[in-house]
Chain A
């Protein structure tokens, strides 16, 4: 007992020591991050970098455009890969057009239109071994040069020497104590805006002008190119294909990400909904309706009676958590009526060929539905094992842009859809 009592005295020592040493406790925090500052170039400097180069590995792919036997594949912010698809089982990467800041592609006849930061460039692709620039439409997308663009006397500058765009970011490491870390040092909205460029992919236009995916910002219909520029839509006359002329900058009912043309109507995918414009007067689109939904990314396509909107969660589009297909009855374009919603995994681009509805369901692969009855979509084929992003379907061949490559599938027999070829990216898509 005496021994135990002495033990108790001893065990009190650690407790006393603990109390004495309580001043030696501290939670220290350091905040380590990079400070980014923009690197500017003038449009004149950028134009000097536009050139045709030999084919190079496919990297950081973006939007896709198909014209005849050629596939044009954007490399985000860098340019366009030209792929000869005469033999779908063995596509050949034949050239690369270096176009700084390029995201979108559209074509009419042999003229390829590509954005280059705030410029629109028109290339003559009659001979893919040359691809000369026929014209620059200066400052066609002023929202893309928002930091060094001046709106004076009712118009934006068209002097390529005076317009600067951000071409890169210089970074330097910084370490601060967390106490001095403030909201301002970390916020994404301080001098930064979420760009429609980020929500990339492609879509469809009149077949005579080539075909884009469902997430494109450019659409050519007849003699006009419709190009989205954040809250505006440029209406560009391409009656003379090699000489595009800006006809109108139309204000939109919100920020638009994707455009799809069908039957003299434009269907715009917006973070907050689907907007429909009539192009009965192609030089002056007129607003018909806006269908609202939760804030999400949402490409849209349409047919004679229905519009199909895939909604997926993405921080770029406001961070909503929905992942679903919404079908609207657009028999009366002024009053789209929601018909049915299907829950999906992470649906992105989509395409329709007759009654077949193709949906890129992100990591859940490609899904081919029989959409003859929109109330009861029937899954005909589910291709798993690829992380899909966008799809174009033409005459029994589906081009699928996936995280790891460009796939071509033969769907002439939908239930027996099979792979024809794959072009591998050197780096997976973001």
Chain B
């Protein structure tokens, strides 16, 4: 299992690095062509990015909705987001979002990164033991393209990896004939790395 994890991490790093390098190249090219005298873009302006997405992983796939609201100045957007993530164990990711656009034009490539907490909403009741779900780390990194469709509006398409950790904790009292009872606790720690494609509207 450790070998598999190591391989997975190595692949993640490799592709992540490629993505970052490619995006970096795109940014520099775009910068050359960017219109630099757009005064509007040099101020912090509110933007709302609302997307629908599809998460796909080894355990199946799930529909996703997200809303991210924040401020943009020049090529940098910083915001707070909340969404749905019903993959395997349903929850609400709450995260900070940062994204970098390739230029001041509304149509542009961009890279994004999210980090936050996945609040599990999954409910489970069993007759014989208690089940609790513990919240865990959430992240999403990727890139995409925004197509301008108005002065400050755009349609955005993106793809990336999204990760969440969900811990399922089960516990029950063990009654052994002629012995003290004790609580048996089992933790199942799920690290779920999925692919996500999103489409949405930024205004």
Q: Could you list which residues of chain A lie within 8 angstroms of chain B, going by C-beta atoms?
A: 3-4, 7, 10-11, 13-15, 17-18, 21-34, 36, 38, 77, 101, 117-118, 141, 143-147, 165-169, 177-179, 186, 188, 192-195, 197-198, 230, 315-316, 319, 321, 430
Contact = CB atoms under 8 A, between A and B. Distances in A.
23 contacts: A4-B147, A10-B147, A11-B144, A15-B159, A18-B195, A22-B56, A25-B161, A28-B4, A28-B193, A31-B188, A31-B189, A33-B185, A36-B174, A38-B179, A101-B178, A143-B177, A165-B178, A169-B180, A188-B184, A192-B175, A195-B181, A197-B177, A315-B127
Contacts of B12: 24
A68 to B, nearest CB: 31
Which A-B residue pairs are the 3 nearest by beta carbons?
A144-B178, A166-B179, A14-B159
A72 B109 CA distance: 77
B8 A14 contact: no
Interface residues of B, number: 51
A3 B107 contact: yes
Chain B contact residues, majority secondary structure:
strand
B71 to A, nearest CB: 24
Contacts of A36: 174, 182, 184
A77 B181 CA distance: 9
Nearest to A38: B179
B91 interface: no
B194 interface: yes
A321 to B, nearest CB: 7
Chain A contact residues, majority secondary structure:
mixed
A300 B188 CA distance: 41
A29 to B, nearest CB: 5
A14 B158 contact: yes
Nearest to A167: B180
B43 interface: no
Contacts of B119: none
B178 A177 contact: no
Contacts of B180: 77, 101, 166-169
A29 B5 CA distance: 11
B37 interface: no
A14 B174 contact: no
Given A33-B184, A193-B176, A316-B175, A28 B191 contact: yes
A11 B195 contact: no
B20 interface: no
B196 to A, nearest CB: 8
Contacts of B158: 14
B147 A7 contact: yes
Contact of B181 (A24, A34, A198, A319): A198
Contacts of B56: 22, 25
Interface string B188-203: 1111111101000000
A17 B173 contact: no
Interface of B: 1, 4-5, 8, 11-12, 15, 19, 56-59, 88, 107, 109, 127-129, 142-145, 147, 157-159, 161, 172-182, 184-195, 197
B37 to A, nearest CB: 21
Contacts of B143: 14, 17
Contact of A24 (B109, B161, B185): B161
Contacts of A188: 128, 172, 174, 184
B177 A146 contact: yes
Contacts of B172: 188, 315
Contacts of A178: 188
Given A166-B178, A195-B181, A230-B177, 20 more contacts: A11-B145, A14-B142, A14-B158, A24-B12, A25-B193, A25-B194, A26-B57, A27-B58, A29-B190, A30-B188, A101-B178, A101-B180, A144-B178, A146-B177, A166-B180, A167-B179, A167-B180, A169-B182, A315-B172, A321-B127
Which of the listed residues A27, A167, A192 has the most CB atoms from chain B within 10 Å of its own CB?
Answer: A27
A7 B145 contact: yes
B160 to A, nearest CB: 8
Contact of B128 (A7, A34, A177, A315): A315
Given A17-B143, A18-B197, A31 B186 contact: yes
Contacts of A169: 179-180, 182
Contacts of A4: 147
B177 A144 contact: yes
A4 B107 CA distance: 10
B185 A197 contact: no
A430 B130 CA distance: 14
